[in-house]
Amino acid sequence: MTTVHTHDDLTARAAEADAASPLHGTRDRFALPDDVIYLDGNSLGALPRAVPAVVDDVMHRQWGERLIRSWNEADWWGAQTRVGDLVGRLVGAAPGQVVVTDSTSVNLFKAVIGAGRLRPGRTVVLTDPDSFPTDLYMTESAAALAGLEVRRVHPRDAVAAIAEAGDALALASYSSVDYRTGELWDLRAITEAAHAVGGLACWDLCHSAGVIEVDLDEGGADLAVGCGYKYLNGGPGAPAFLYVASRHQDDFEQPLTGWQGHAHPFEMRPDYEPAPGITRARVGTPPLLSVLALEAALTAYDGLSPADVRAASLSVTGTFIDALDALGVDLPLATPREPERRGSQVSLRHPQAFAVVQALIARGVIGDFREPDIIRLGFAPLYVTHVDAVRAAQHVKEVLDGREFERPEFAERGAVT
């Protein structure tokens, strides 16, 4: 009975926190099943209710009726920079510095080579050995083509490594949040160190855009990349974004010189001339259905400030951690307890983490697993409430206490884990 009473008390306090939250009621902006606690928005965001009607209009009216005229009438042509400015508002970038285009991988490729060209004669690129694999793969590939040397240095050691590289440093390229553990890194300090030796800094915002006060402009970032399908809720395959600080745009030479990045795309000139501003970061014809779905999805942030979203994120993740403690869940936290070091997820360690996650999913608590032993739970504060956090903690306890993760069906892996 003690646990039940503890749980009831936790739930009551969580309900009070929800009622007082600046994000109170924003869950209604999403089409989520009532019986699901969705803790995987850091892999694929939930569906905002505004999206289906917009996509239906794009398909049936803009495309179906107006056909090619919609490139002008509906400003399909300007969608990539128009939506880029909406993303920019959430990541602290003034208008004209963000374009929605391509994938994170492709944009990182552009950023690494573009940075090398902005800093000719410098040869060193620093990046985190624990980065999401695409960051490592694309950085190595781009660096090989550009004649750059990649040094894999942990974020904790980056400032010292930058000083050691000195005037050889071209770029320090780091993720804002560790995708496995949820630890938030001090990219401002890394950026300041890079600038002190004349280098550049690129920030990967895949696990922070939409939930953390990023402040690209204020933080001095030179370049940044991020995806549209996680916390920004743009849907599966949503386009990513690329930020190029305005001070670099006139000299930014990205390597994928497609026709939509041309200064005069409809004059069909045989030689490439980059467009002014952030438009030069475009490549080919964008997936308009996805771009416009992302535009509609971003309306879920209407009336909300990044500061309010961040405060709610910290409150909800803190509630989950406190609930685990109060319920006696004895699993190591991979995520820092200190709010200033935490992104918008809580990761736990368990030797059978995959099976634990599958057992939770069977209960309607959808999270995910990362090798080798990470139970990764993302808390998108626009639709994950404090009450959800307490309920999720109770489910974790019951899965562990009942050893549900030992059921053989929870060891079976699909193509996507």
- The pLDDT tens digits of the residues spanning 357-413 come to 999 999 999 999 999 999 999 999 999 999 999 999 999 999 999 999 999 999 999
Where helices occur in 276-385 by DSSP H, the ranges are: 288-297, 306-326, 353-362
Which residue has 């996507």 as its token pair? Answer: 416
Is 342 an active-site residue?
A: no
Q: How many CA atoms lie within 13 A of 207 on its CB side?
A: 26
Is 376 an active-site residue?
A: yes
Handedness of CA 322, 324, 328, 329 (dihedral sign): negative
Angstrom CA distances, 254 to 6, 97, 149, 258, stand at 57, 15, 19, 10
For 155-170, how does the pLDDT look when each residue is reduced to its tens digit (9 = 90+)? 999 999 999 999 999 9
* Amino acid occupying residue 229: Y
pLDDT for 362 equals: 98
Catalytic residue among 151, 230, 282, 363: 230
pLDDT at 8 over 90: no
Is 410 an active-site residue?
A: no
CA distance 319 to 386: 6
pLDDT for 3 equals: 47
CA distance 150 to 169: 10
* Amino acid occupying residue 271: D
Catalytic residue among 27, 280, 370, 376: 376
Catalytic residue among 38, 109, 174, 229: 229
The whole-chain average pLDDT of the chain stands at 97
Is 61 an active-site residue?
A: no
Q: What is the pTM of this model?
A: 0.97
pLDDT for 7 equals: 76
Catalytic residue among 102, 204, 222, 388: 204
For 293-345, how does the pLDDT look when each residue is reduced to its tens digit (9 = 90+)? 999 999 999 999 999 999 999 999 999 999 999 999 999 999 999 999 999 99
For 199-258, how does the pLDDT look when each residue is reduced to its tens digit (9 = 90+)? 999 999 999 999 999 999 999 999 999 999 999 999 999 999 999 999 999 999 999 999
CA distance 48 to 148: 42
Which residue has 């309920």 as its token pair? Answer: 391
High-pLDDT (> 90) share of the chain, %: 98
pLDDT for 26 equals: 98
Catalytic residue among 109, 132, 369, 379: 132
Query: How does residue 2 score in pLDDT terms, banded at 50, 70 and 90?
Result: very low
Is 230 an active-site residue?
A: yes
